[in-house]
Amino acid sequence: MIVVMKQGATRAQVANVTARIEQLGCRAHLSEGEERTIIGVIGNGRPIDREPIERMDGVERTVPILRPFKLASRDFHPQDTLVSINGLAIGGRQLIVMAGPCAVESREQLLEAARAVKSGGGHVLRGGAFKPRTSPYSFQGLGEEGLRLLAAVREETGLPIVTEVMEPQMVPLVTTYADILQIGARNMQNYALLHAVGEAQRPVLLKRGMMSTIEELLMAAEYILSHGNDRVILCERGIRTFEQYTRNTLDISAVPLLKQLSHLPVVVDPSHGTGKWELVEPVSRAAVAAGADGLLIEVHPHPEQALSDGAQSLKPTRFADMMRGLQPIAEAVGRTL
Amino acid sequence: MIVVMKQGATRAQVANVTARIEQLGCRAHLSEGEERTIIGVIGNGRPIDREPIERMDGVERTVPILRPFKLASRDFHPQDTLVSINGLAIGGRQLIVMAGPCAVESREQLLEAARAVKSGGGHVLRGGAFKPRTSPYSFQGLGEEGLRLLAAVREETGLPIVTEVMEPQMVPLVTTYADILQIGARNMQNYALLHAVGEAQRPVLLKRGMMSTIEELLMAAEYILSHGNDRVILCERGIRTFEQYTRNTLDISAVPLLKQLSHLPVVVDPSHGTGKWELVEPVSRAAVAAGADGLLIEVHPHPEQALSDGAQSLKPTRFADMMRGLQPIAEAVGRTL
Amino acid sequence: MIVVMKQGATRAQVANVTARIEQLGCRAHLSEGEERTIIGVIGNGRPIDREPIERMDGVERTVPILRPFKLASRDFHPQDTLVSINGLAIGGRQLIVMAGPCAVESREQLLEAARAVKSGGGHVLRGGAFKPRTSPYSFQGLGEEGLRLLAAVREETGLPIVTEVMEPQMVPLVTTYADILQIGARNMQNYALLHAVGEAQRPVLLKRGMMSTIEELLMAAEYILSHGNDRVILCERGIRTFEQYTRNTLDISAVPLLKQLSHLPVVVDPSHGTGKWELVEPVSRAAVAAGADGLLIEVHPHPEQALSDGAQSLKPTRFADMMRGLQPIAEAVGRTL
Amino acid sequence: MIVVMKQGATRAQVANVTARIEQLGCRAHLSEGEERTIIGVIGNGRPIDREPIERMDGVERTVPILRPFKLASRDFHPQDTLVSINGLAIGGRQLIVMAGPCAVESREQLLEAARAVKSGGGHVLRGGAFKPRTSPYSFQGLGEEGLRLLAAVREETGLPIVTEVMEPQMVPLVTTYADILQIGARNMQNYALLHAVGEAQRPVLLKRGMMSTIEELLMAAEYILSHGNDRVILCERGIRTFEQYTRNTLDISAVPLLKQLSHLPVVVDPSHGTGKWELVEPVSRAAVAAGADGLLIEVHPHPEQALSDGAQSLKPTRFADMMRGLQPIAEAVGRTL
């Protein structure tokens, strides 16, 4: 941390800040410039809280130097983390495609979607049993019945399952059914939930909040890692901007940046990232070209009848086409599909 | 809802959409323009899901006409809602100031803060027992011990208490201690939690998410109202923008707009809204001038020792000064303080 | 400036950076922490370009310490700047209200508007002769004929005139007619234009770009000041965010922040800042309460016939009401109107 | 356009709006719902101004139905536009790479960069003679001397030239030197400049403003097209968001969306889009995979000595590597490089 003193800060104010820094077990390093005095804080290994110092008399502001995440950072863990599920390794040479309907609606719908995912070349079945919806009047998901349908379809198709968990006390229940626990964008900073999945025995797919910075996404991952679960998969799914033609603005740079800052696998959700099925295929290609380790795609046998997010779901034939189109892109960046 | 057909949509496609609308119990009203056919959907009182229709062949997009919230809307409930706590009415002529430390740290700190709030003219004591923090390594609050301290200080000062609840299963516990349940910005779309406080017997202070629209805030209020709790207080606390000199950008227009769209009381949190104590006073004045029903202010006896958000907390003397300065503004807009 | 070296940067890399800093006539100050080496750069009074150093081997990033503006900063010029026009002083105790139609449409319209402004208590007449419009098919303004009408109406009412200039080569022409030159939000970073008004003999009203930071606004002011024109009035007029119920999000905190960072007067434009006439009055009150030195208000005798921005224009009677309502707020903050 | 009347609008108000619509030469089409009356406006081919109607008594809001751009739209011009320069066609099967330094600094620097661009496989040389810079104290470009150097290096290498023009009155001068005129992001809504290049005899590279929507970018193109110049190349270069790890957030979805909405070629600038050279290569791959017609890349022989934007410039060897890596991606999407 660097402490920038105000122009005209007194010697006594500088001395007080220095004393406080030393009291925290750190060393203070003074630089006196023409206009400002700057104090470098040399830490003792533990993170320092900037706020109390920012409030001291004569202090203009503080500047953080180290990134606030540690367990999630590549500095701390240089090798790529591979997350294994049913013999699949997410984060390795093979791209992993998780696909399926936004919401589980019925056994027929789910089975038809799962078969489309499998025959198209997908690896994991996605589907929501509990649905966070902006309106209390929209379909909220089938609940535990949805989880049972997911397990039954896994039985029939062999596809592992990723599904969202929305409340800390539901983590044990969802864990008995799911292969991967999904944390939705709206819950990325639901700390009680992050704590609960941090103690679960399942990999976690952590979606970036629509209002969250890359640093905050990595801090949310840090929460999970710090509670003992080291199988975290990061997911870029678009952020909120002023642009209105798309539902969100997919942050493609986040893919190489997350791979550089962190050792965790990174997947991309172009369905939520764009909100339009016509954009899912080109943006999926872009994600693979940018270095993503996998994709999360909405596939629905009959999107026009979907109870949620139909506008961004692919029909089975279009999903199969998309997978074929991804093949040469994957090869071009040294991956397999 | 309006359905805009694609340029060159066929008669058969238009007929299919019309049939679907009628199947949903609505009437379809065709307008054939030079370049587009447009279908007006005349509802049957229930909200219609736009997505399935958006996915039909020949449809370009749909346009909502009615606001998606109802219980929260002034159309539905023209009179102002007054939320009563201990003889105070929030939303009436008198402005209500809720103040106190960001986090409860100790009995001494809380008591000192509460006395400052009371002697300065504040009406409700705020203080967090459970603190949502971006970093797992930061102070997370005292937990139930914090709730007990809040109750003890209420006993001593007579100030009612507002405090945050972060998990659905904690709602019963927090309800036994608090006079107002606070939903934090990061939990504005935590639907399980909205559901839980919707069934609680306490007023709810609902903070706007930092990347949430005014419509989404009102939809979150709708969740709570639709579960039976009609004592909701809306809180503008700043949104996230590209501006970096302030922690958030306080959306002052939201105050008159929320008062116009909804019957619920609106309070403003200039401490989180700006992140800088020097800005709290001018922005508080602005909030009152714009028509806010109250304020939420961070006050700490020793901000430079605060365990969280010290940089935006007022010292007791400054709080008292601020309250004095608000007096003539309140009068200028026909309110009392 | 602070230079943060990468973890594991070599001694040779640190030495190279140090040498480069000294070559630029600055002093380098080393702090070796546990994880990072940090180099403080102590300047020689001239601003240093961070980029070349950021590109050197072993450098992770650089952190600026000083604000990049100087002439616009209060550190450099502690007293408030007063901008005088026709005996009025903008930036002093008296609030200045500039009002009038978005676009000059005809002599009758302008004169009717000017009389309403004057009788309502406004001080300056605003009106656009050249209109920047998003669509090439919208009304683009009357051009020089509009300037002549403005001058004629000034003759008749005595109100000085503020009007927008959009091109560097038009500055001499507009200067012959206008009392204050307005730089519109879309031109805040039109450097050729800033240069041209920097050499003009007229005060400049500089509107914040809709996606510009406070720092960028002050840098744009610095451009004008650095070309010799020290009569700059800053204008907050709302920034672009994800919120869709208002045209822009008025950044109320910018008012006290600009007053703190700079010595220049600050006015607020609630008409563009909100885009809705119903919000103009409460947001004007808020602006005055927050410490603005004046307001820029759209007034049109017949808003429903306005050729541009009618939705945010006040009728004359409403303008007069608004001015009456501002009186006690102005007094409450020690100002006159 | 659709007019949504307020709840409780009177018959007289509805009749007034209808009369006004017919007075504008349009037909009005009434739909009376349970809660609202809605009036469809069926146009006469000319765009209708929504604002005057929005201000009429009883009107809640208006909703546009048609996109506001016409000449730029694919509905109007279904075939792809090819922009030819020196035998190159931008917008066809072959990808076009424009590369070079941010600013022209000297003959040696430019020639070295141009040779690197040519030997790496680039098609057009980019370089700024006039540089828009946030600070008045930064290097502002060599001016006409820079244009002469560009022309000399074109002579020597055969590479056509793209360079920025910042003022309407400079268009004739820049046209005598440049093969493509660039409109920078800060000038995307500088209408006087759009008008001037709309009358120039050169293709125009139009960069999206950092605060501009896709619709506004297409409206800016419409300005140029409506003044007679139909050789416009659109450029996505990142938008401003709350994310701070990158300079801008490159909107990858804009590429397929612009190709769908418009017939104009689309290129991507990953150098400004990310601000970090390490991200240029993966984001370039993404752009090609998403369907871009070309790229705009900063290449500098010695980025650490660059006078502007060094942090986002590639060294010659890295540029050559990047071009090799793009080859298989281009093939995968049916393009040549």
The DSSP-derived string for A218-282 is HHHHHHHHHTT---EEEEE--B--S--SSSSB-BTTHHHHHHHHBSS-EEE-HHHHHS-HHHHHH
C8: left (phi over 0), alpha (psi -120 to 50) or beta: left
User: Which tokens is C279 given?
Assistant: 């919000």
Interface of B with D in 43-72 (CB under 8 A): 43-45, 63, 65-66
Distance between CA atoms of D304 and B331, rounded to whole angstroms?
Answer: 61
pLDDT at D46: 64
In a domain, B75, yes or no: no
Is D29 in CB contact (< 8 Å) with chain B? Answer: yes
Full strand arrangement of the beta sheet holding D59-63: D27-32, D37-42, D2-5, D59-63
Asked if B43 lies within 8 A of D34 by C-beta distance, the reply is yes
The total of structural domains in chain D comes to 2
> Would you state the structure tokens that stand for residue D108, as one six-digit string?
């040696």
Assign A55 a pLDDT band (cuts: 50, 70, 90). Answer: confident
- The residue among C30, C48, C65, C73 with the most chain A CBs within 10 A of its CB, best to mutate, is C65
pLDDT value for D57: 84
pLDDT at C138 over 80: no
Tell me, yes or no, whether D96 and D18 share the same domain: no
B93 φ, ψ to 5°?
-70, -30
Please give the full DSSP string across D96-139, using - where no structure is assigned.
EEEEE-SB---HHHHHHHHHHHHHHT--EEE-BSS---SSTTS-
pLDDT tens digits, B129-158: 998 777 787 778 899 999 999 999 999 999
Residues of chain B predicted below pLDDT 50: none
- Angle, helices A254-261 vs D277-290, to 10°: value is 140
Preferred mutation among B21, B167, B226 to probe A, highest tally of A CBs within 10 A: B167
D295, β-bridge pairs: D97, D268
Kindly report the number of other CB atoms within 10 A of residue D83's CB atom.
Answer: 21
A9 lies in the same domain as A140: no
Q: What is the secondary structure of C75-122 as a DSSP string?
A: TT--SPP-EEETTEEETSSB-EEEEE-SB---HHHHHHHHHHHHHHT-
Distance from CA of A319 to the nearest CA of B (A): 16
pLDDT surpassing 90 at residue A195: yes
In a domain, A70, yes or no: no
Angle at the Cα of A9 from the Cα atoms of A5 and A14, rounded to 5 degrees: 70
A299, A302, A303, A304: CA torsion to nearest 10: 180
Q: Looking up tokens 């941090």, which residue turns up?
A: A198
Could you write out the three-class secondary structure of C20-54?
HHHHCCCEEEEEECCCCEEEEEECCCCCCCHHHHH
- In this predicted model, what pLDDT tens digit does every residue of A210-242 receive, in sequence order? 989 999 999 999 999 999 999 999 999 999 999
Q: Is A291 left (phi over 0), alpha (psi -120 to 50) or beta?
A: left
Residue D6: what pLDDT? 86
Same-domain pairing of D167 and D116: yes
Contact call for residues A268 and A274 (beta carbons, < 8 A): no
pLDDT of residue D249 exceeding 90, the answer is yes
Residues 120-149 of D with CB under 8 A from C: 132-138, 140
Phi and psi torsions of C116, nearest 5°: -65, -40
Average pLDDT over residues D176-189: 96
CB contact under 8 A, C250 and B255: no
d(CA B192, CA A166): 7
Interface mutation vs chain B, best among D65, D70, D77, D212, most B CBs within 10 Å? D65
Final residue belonging to a domain, choices A63, A92, A111? A63
B222 with B298, same domain?
yes
Contact partners, residue D69, CB within 8 Å, separation at least 6: D215, D218, D219, D221, D222, D262
Nearest residue of C to residue B291, measured between CA atoms = C282
For residue C68, the model assigns a pLDDT of 85
Give the model's confidence band at C47: pLDDT under 50 very low, under 70 low, under 90 confident, else very high.
low
H or E segment and range at residue A83: strand A83-85
Q: Is the pLDDT of residue C113 over 70?
A: yes
CA C21 distance to own-chain centroid = 35
**Within this chain, do residues D49 and D163 fall inside the same structural domain, yes or no?**
no
Closest listed residue to residue A32, CA positions, set A9, A58, A51, A50: A9
Contact A196, A142 (CB under 8 A): no
Average pLDDT of the residues in D323-328: 97
Whether residue D25 has pLDDT greater than 70: yes
Give the residue-averaged pLDDT of C179-199: 95
Q: Where are the alpha helices (DSSP H) in chain A?
A: 11-23, 51-54, 107-120, 144-157, 171-177, 191-198, 214-226, 254-261, 270-274, 277-289, 316-332
CA distance A288 to D285: 9
Mean pLDDT for chain D overall: 92
pTM given for the model: 0.93
Q: What range does the domain containing B254 cover?
A: 83-332
* Per-residue pLDDT, D102: 92
Which pair of structure tokens corresponds to residue B250?
């306080």
Q: Say yes or no: C169 and C309 in one domain.
A: yes
Position B68 in a domain: no
Q: Is residue C76 part of a domain?
A: no
Position B74 in a domain: no
Res B150: pLDDT: 98
Residue A209 is assigned to a structural domain of this protein? yes
> What pLDDT does residue B45 have?
62
Which member of B68, B187, B211 has the closest CB to residue A190? B187
CA distances from D43 to A211, B14, D24 (A): 40, 20, 9
Q: Is-contact A256 D278, C-beta < 8 A?
A: yes
The CATH number that applies at residue C25 is 3.30.70.1140
Assess whether A251 and A160 both reside in one domain: yes
Q: Does residue B230 sit in the same domain as residue B133?
A: yes
In a domain, C70, yes or no: no
Q: What does the pLDDT read at residue B334?
A: 96
Residues of D in contact with A278 (CB under 8 A): 256, 260
Q: How far apart are CA A310 and CA C57, in angstroms?
A: 49
Does the beta carbon of D322 lie under 8 angstroms from any beta carbon of chain A? no
- HEC string of B119-165 equals HHCCCEEECECCCCCCCCCCCCCCCHHHHHHHHHHHHHHCCCEEEEC
C47 lies in the same domain as C164: no
Per-residue pLDDT reduced to its tens digit, C144-182: 999 999 999 999 999 999 999 999 999 999 999 999 999
Whether C311 has its CB under 8 Å from any CB of chain D: the answer is yes
Query: What are the tokens at C254?
Result: 């910018």
Which tens digits make up the pLDDT trace of A262-280? 999 999 999 998 988 899 9
Residue D210 touches chain B, beta carbons under 8 Å: no
Q: How many helices (H) and strands (E) does chain B have?
A: 11, 14
- Do residues B57 and B99 both lie within one domain? no
Radius of gyration, alpha carbons of chain B: 23
Which range among B33-37, B138-142, D40-44, D151-155 has the greatest average pLDDT?
D151-155
b vs e for B236-271, b when ≥16 Cβ sit within 10 Å of the residue's Cβ? Answer: bbbbbbbbebbbbbbbbbbbbbbbebbbbbbbbbbb
pLDDT given at position C66? 78
C246:B255 CB<8 A: no
Lowest average pLDDT, out of B215-229, D45-59, D151-165, D186-200, goes to: D45-59
Q: Residue D170 carries which DSSP code?
A: G
Contacts of D327 (CB under 8 A, 6+ apart): D337
Q: Which residues contact D155 (CB under 8 A, 6 or more apart)?
A: none
User: How confident is the model over A62-100, as pLDDT tens digits?
Assistant: 888 778 899 999 988 999 999 999 889 999 999 999 999
What CATH number should be reported for the domain holding residue C292? 3.20.20.70
Would you say residue D90 lies in a domain?
yes
D209 touches chain C (CB under 8 A): yes
Residues D275-287: tens digit of each pLDDT:
888 999 999 999 9
State whether C170 and C254 are in the same domain. Answer: yes
What local confidence, expressed as pLDDT, does residue B312 receive? 82
Question: CB count, 10 Å around CB of D278?
Answer: 15
Looking at the fold, whether A143 and A221 belong to one and the same domain comes out as yes
Distances (CA, A) of D159 to A331, B16, D107, D129, D200: 32, 55, 15, 17, 21
Q: Which residues of D touch B42 (CB under 8 A)?
A: 31-34
